[in-house]
Amino acid sequence: MTSQSPDSASPVGTQHRCAPVAATHKYRAGILGATGLVGQRLVSLLANHPWFNLTEVAASERSSGKTYAEAVHWHLDAPIPTPARGLIVKSLDTNLECDFVFSALDSSVAGPAEESFAQAGYPVVSNSRNHRMDPDVPLLIPEVNAQHLDAIPLQQKNRGYSTGFIVTNPNCSTAGLVLVLKPLADAFGVEKIFVVTLQAISGAGYPGVPAMDIQGNVVPFISGEEEKMEAEPQKLLGKWDGVRFVEAGVGLSAHCNRVPVVDGHLECVSIGLKKIASLHEVSEALRNFQVSAELAALPSALKNPVVVLDEEDRPQPRRDVNSGHGMAAVVGRVRECPLLDVKLTLLSHNLVRGAAGAALLNAELLAARGFLRNRIASENRSLAEPVLS
């Protein structure tokens, strides 16, 4: 990972609305749903972040008014970062002292809450499913479809938002799958995908699946998951044509299973390609998938986000889930498929690449492209560094 200042990652393209603030300022980040599993990961990833400073945490009435340390049921091995411990958990009122918010809210409340924050002028970087498929909301994996950020001005116009907007990241299983499909789509074209997932229990949030249901067992049903996995890749691999998202039109069938693994979603994937390719060419396309210089300059980005393992029994959740600080999609067992063309196994960290790390990378790209702004500077320029134009 790299760690440059926001303004050292120069804005690219012509669609940027404002430039990042000067390097002496970090953007102030808030987290809605900070006490949940994804929120905790965000708190942890934001500690010592070079561009962002966590200033606000918000959650339900059960938590608000308490210090973060009192409210959270902390699940990570590393302790709660010291600066976060004493933050007072707020409610979802749109008066948080921050420049943008991450949303890690339960989907029962995320939809209207995210709209309220966007309406109140906050950029919202969401993990939740509620707005992913909205026709004017980018569903973003920076390595796959950074161009979709061009939809933000139209979203603001459509909804009457001034400085606010909503950007989402995909479902945790979709994130790893599409990261692996992208280099194959670019090199050979992708026609059909058949995928079977083995998904970790942390994907269900906390307290999640009862121990009596999952201990020594597999549950072959995750509500809504197959529908999300079949829909979201179409948007991610499709194009923004200036007015609408045009879907990729890939044939896709998903089976989703919950397995007794703590972190890391494994996926067994068969892929039909448009062009004939050897197994060697497929492996090399994955191994050589390299991000642009713009993305490589983002603090959480990996230069090569797909890792290919040659061992016949990898990837495995316990051994490989933290590959690339949890931001890699780890691929193994690339082999011929008698039904489609090629089959492989992939693994990604559902709470990092599939959630908190994905949202953080999205926010970094938004900062680098000038979509975030310092709300103090814009409200009272004498209090802060001027916003560069």
Q: Tell me the catalytic residues.
A: 172, 265
Closest CB to ligand NAP: residue number: 36
CA dist., res. 50 & res. 12, Å (int): 20
Q: Could you tell me the smallest distance in angstroms from the CB atom of residue 304 to ligand NAP?
A: 23
Provide CB contacts within 8 A for 3, sequence distance 6+. Answer: 50, 299
Residue numbers of the site for ligand NAP (CB under 6 A)? 33-39, 59-60, 62-63, 92, 104-107, 109-110, 127-129, 172, 202-203, 205-206, 350-351, 354-355
For every residue of 139-194, DSSP letters joined together read: B--HHHHGGGGGGHHHHHHHHT-SS-EEEE---HHHHHHHHHHHHHHHHH-EEEEE
Q: Could you tell me the smallest distance in angstroms from the CB atom of residue 17 to ligand NAP?
A: 27
Closest by CA to 269, choosing from 182, 200, 331, 350, is 331
Q: Could you tell me the smallest distance in angstroms from the CB atom of residue 265 to ligand NAP?
A: 8
Which C-beta is closer to ligand NAP: that of 297 or that of 356?
A: 356
Which C-beta is closer to ligand NAP: that of 170 or that of 299?
A: 170
Q: Could you tell me the smallest distance in angstroms from the CB atom of residue 118 to ligand NAP?
A: 16
Q: Which residues pair with 256 in a beta bridge?
A: 197
Which C-beta is closer to ligand NAP: that of 306 or that of 321?
A: 321
Structure tokens at 229: 């996995």
CA dist., res. 324 & res. 353, Å (int): 10
Q: Is the peptide bond before 142 cis (omega within 30 degrees of 0)?
A: no
Which C-beta is closer to ligand NAP: that of 118 or that of 334?
A: 118
Which C-beta is closer to ligand NAP: that of 37 or that of 286?
A: 37
DSSP state of 307: E
